Amino acid sequence: MSKQDYYELLGVSRDASDRDIKKAYRRLAMKYHPDRNPGDEEAENKFKEISEAYEVLSDAQKKAAYDQFGHAGVDGQGAGGFGGGGFEGNFSDIFGDVFGDIFGGGGGGRRRSGVQRGADLRYNLELTLEEAVRGCEKTLEIPTLVGCETCDGSGAKPGTSAKTCSTCGGMGQVRMQQGFFSVQQTCPTCRGEGKVISDPCGDCHGQGRVEKTKTLQVKIPAGVDTGDRIRLSGEGEAGTHGGPAGDLYVQVHVREHPIFQRDGKHLYCEVPISFVDAALGGELDVPTLDGRVKLKIPAETQTGKLFRLRGKGITPVRGGSVGDLMVKVAVETPVNLNSRQKELLREFAETTEEGNSTHSPKKHGFFDSVKKFFEDMT
């Protein structure tokens, strides 16, 4: 007899997400579970079928094989194991995983070793623009949990060892009856570890880890920017019971610079110039991260003019061409003038009044537009 399509059994489409598949299985499992249908052989068979379907579709590798080859791609890989040995075992492995978050149980019937990976840590590192652009080496002080050297991370006093929990027999879980459900819960005595430490280590108090400030030398690559993250494998918190350590993530933040603004690989700065240099032209000393360079200002330069200095920006941390430095000039109005300077400016203004449209084309064009605007209103 041919098997029914797994997607049809769960009532989901072939492009359903993992969450939708789990949700569909949860709903059907609640409906056909044998504890809710005692003596109903049809419901029991239906539950076996949907559990088999969920086992395949919830496993990425099995799902890919099933999508490509159908039932032939997953036969013999545990997907058809409900018909023979131990329905209860298969139910615990799959149904317990789905409903463990409701009843506090784990992966039904499977012993928990207590070995866990340590937590990842994050360190916020502030850099100057120069440090970020050129790269640097920083010393970090990281408060963390490290393996206890006294007990070698076991949590037990030297010369002793943890003993198998008498409540759960080392399984880490106990079976609890809740209404029509028979579910697994974390053992209250050993808290899921499977073992009990009767004589804990005096330094770590049975935790296997102690608090310590760790000193690390970290190389910051050239070109990093705010938001970049550097991963240091194994430099996070120590794992429990010999588990691997977590990772340390160094989060980069670049402080604001008094002269430059950064936009990716490009730099921007604003340089004030006198109205004489703007009118007659000249040369400016422009700052860059590598020192000063000469910038030629052409005559009749207007405020806001942007000049590009190629290759004076930043080399991206992930490679690519060097950015540019964009220099924006701002014409500065002179202040604190003495009487002679004011007199000279008035003389200059008198010489330019007659040819206003020639000497100040933007001003002339603007007021012509304003005049026309009011004329059109009338």
Q: How far is CA 92 from CA 47, 116, 274, in A?
A: 13, 22, 82
Query: Which residue type does 364 have?
Result: H
Q: What is the pLDDT along the chain (378 residues), one digit of tens a residue?
A: 567 889 999 999 988 888 889 889 888 888 888 777 878 888 888 888 888 888 889 888 888 888 877 877 776 544 343 333 333 333 433 344 444 433 334 443 344 456 688 899 999 999 999 999 999 999 999 999 898 888 888 888 898 888 888 888 888 888 776 655 667 788 888 877 888 888 999 888 888 889 999 999 999 999 999 999 999 999 999 888 777 889 999 999 999 999 999 999 999 999 999 988 998 998 989 999 989 999 999 998 999 999 999 999 999 998 889 999 999 999 998 889 999 999 998 888 888 765 555 666 565 566 567 666 666 776
Does domain 6-103 sit in CATH 1.10.287.110?
A: yes
Rounded Cα distance between 323 and 217, Å, is 29
- Is 269 annotated in a binding site? The answer is no
Known binding residue 204? Answer is: yes
CA distance 319 to 374: 56
Q: Would you say 136 is a known binding-site residue?
A: no
Cα 90–chain centre separation: 37
| Choices 3.40.50.360, 2.10.230.10, 3.30.450.20, 3.40.50.970: CATH for 121-254 | 2.10.230.10
Among 59, 168, 162, which residue's Cα sits nearest to residue 115?
162
Task: Specify whether domain 261-332 bears CATH 1.10.3720.10.
Answer: no
pTM: 0.58
Question: How do the domains of the chain map onto residue ranges?
Answer: 6-103, 121-254, 261-332, 339-377
Measured from the Cβ of residue 360, the count of other Cβ atoms closer than 10 Å reads 14
What are phi and psi for residue 235, nearest 5 degrees? Answer: -105, 15
CA 88/CA 33 separation, integer angstroms:
12
165 is in an annotated binding site: yes
Q: Does residue 176 contact residue 96 with C-beta atoms inside 8 Å? A: no
